[in-house]
Chain A
Amino acid sequence: MLSVKNLSKSFDGNTILRDISLDVAAGETTVILGPSGSGKSTLLRCLNLLETPELGQLSIEGDTVDFGTDLTDEQVRTIRQHSAMVFQNFNLFPHLTAQQNVALAPVLNGKKSKAEAKKLAGQLLAKVGLEHKADAYPDNLSGGQQQRVAIARALAVAPDYLLFDEPTSALDPELEAEVIQVLMGLAAEKRSLVVVTHNMAFARRVADRIIFLDGGTVAYNGAPAGFFASDHARIQRFLQIFEMTDYKI
């Protein structure tokens, strides 16, 4: 269980997240939607403590931090080990091969020997369909392949929650499909996923829960069916934008 209570975050005096409270159940796929600038990335980054909120509380799998006072390195590392982030721009380590990218963290975190980590990396690359690219450097991989390596790298630290910030936004539709397929596989395995995306088909078909952010507050939190049938004006306007873009394409 991941639980956020009364979380607030501001940048340079602008409040980006206002008093957010929500729970994310383990084993579910939670999709965060919302207009640009509504604070989706910021919320996701707060869950991994890539951003530190000013106020509120975060609990993941029994570990809890209260914001408002400075966190110790120990606290940050304890909370952070429960989740791993997959970024829009992949952020693979360019000087390491696909396999080395995946194998590095388990070794540095002291969880695996080098040989074990290498084996794990091979398995995870196979899982994302890239066993044949184990020795390739990121620069020699397509965007879709890079993102799949990044997913394998995140899986390698055995996180309780996988966090995705627009994992397909930098990709062509064909490559997007590769990555979405991997995500769907993870969802089918009942892994706990929190996904920020603009892919409405994914939200509709795969999400167990939809959280809709608007202006830094939660405007919807519930089942996808209710979201897509909502008569809330703001949600309707948001969905219409996608229908129109779908239509134009």
Chain B
Amino acid sequence: MDRYIELWVESLPQLLLAAAQVTIPLTIIAFVLSLVIGLFSTAARNLGRFNPLNWLATTYVWIFRGTPLLVQLFLVFYGLPRVGITLDTWSAAIIALSLNTGAYVAETFRSAYASIPRGQFEAARTLNFTRAQTLRHVVIPQATRIALPPLGNDLIDLVKGTSLVSVISMVDLFQSGKQVAARTFEPLAMYLEVAAIYLVIFTLLSIGQQYLEKRTSRYVRTANA
């Protein structure tokens, strides 16, 4: 046990550094991009049934939800050079992760939008709101509350998904732990430590999510009771 504690203390700075330099920035960048992608996809999928942008967005979501992230990552990093597109590891990781998460976020936004009752749109119309005003003042505040819990899931999946970038030789939290394990011959100790750090990140995110959910649900009686 003493040996484990010694190992953990010794390796912690290295693991935290990997988390701070790769896992966390990758998560943040990919999540912000996936929100943008999700927003555009949702807008596109609300266009007419025969609009090509609608088809494009629908196809995008279909493909990226329907295939494993690992396969997407390999296609972007190892596959694209075959057609002349060579990306560095960061670009490849950001592209694959944000396209993957963006597809889930698009689903989250679509279902949040769909759950707003028809009466809300009718009230907005009878009060002569423009489409943009309806979106800004009626739809988005309510959709945000509905979207938060599934969006939290999307984010947490993304954090864990970043561990796959080790396969394109990025030294993230997981890869860093793997290196220490190989050096010290202590896989149990090291992977437990890696798991614990992921758990800490997850816990912090959950607390943030709870706070946001409370804040956006102030107007709902059952949520406060």
Contact = CB atoms under 8 A, between A and B. Distances in A.
Given A85-B126, A94-B220, 14 more contacts: A48-B125, A50-B126, A80-B125, A91-B119, A93-B123, A93-B138, A94-B142, A95-B142, A96-B219, A105-B128, A109-B127, A137-B219, A139-B220, A157-B127
A87 B117 CA distance: 13
Nearest to A139: B221
B79 interface: no
Given A87-B119, A87-B122, A104-B137, A94 B219 contact: yes
B7 to A, nearest CB: 51
A83 B137 CA distance: 21
Contacts of B128: 77, 80-81, 105, 109, 157
A229 interface: no
B122 A50 contact: yes
B147 to A, nearest CB: 14
B51 interface: no
Contacts of A83: 126
A41 to B, nearest CB: 11
Size range of the interface on A? 20 to 34
B133 interface: yes
B25 interface: no
Contacts of A137: 218-221
B129 interface: yes
Interface of A: 48, 50, 77, 80-81, 83-85, 87, 89, 91-96, 104-105, 108-109, 137-140, 153-154, 157
B141 interface: yes
B145 interface: yes
B219 A139 contact: yes
A26 B125 CA distance: 23
B86 interface: no
A50 B119 CA distance: 11
Interface string B133-163: 1000110011001000000000000000000
B14 interface: no
Contacts of A140: 221
A108 to B, nearest CB: 5
Contacts of A93: 120, 123, 137-138, 142
A94 B220 CA distance: 8
Contact of A85 (B117, B122, B133): B122
